[in-house]
Amino acid sequence: MYFSIAQIVISVILIVLILLQERSSGLSGIFGGGESDFYARRRGMERIIFIATIVLIIIFAILSVLSLII
């Protein structure tokens, strides 16, 4: 029960964090246009959002596995 609620909360936060990321946004990013420097360094708030997204994806995956086991 608690795993399901935690998954819902984390998924909503993940959606917000993914939508806040600005890289390759817009229609040109979908078709390969836009910024070509993929390996550019992230700074400031962009780096915090990126790291938080990765951490929440890992937590979401762990909760998914745990909910299957339990």
**In the prediction, which pLDDT does 53 show?**
95
Distance linking the first and last C-alpha atoms of the chain:
10
- Sole residue written with tokens 């762990």: 62
**In the prediction, which pLDDT does 49 show?**
92
**In the prediction, which pLDDT does 28 show?**
47
CA pair distance 59, 53, nearest whole angstrom: 10
- Sole residue written with tokens 């909760």: 63
CA pair distance 5, 50, nearest whole angstrom: 24
pLDDT tens digit sequence for 29-52: 555 555 555 566 777 888 899 999
Instruction: Indicate whether this model's pTM tops 0.85.
Output: no
Where exactly are the structural domains of the chain? 2-23+42-69
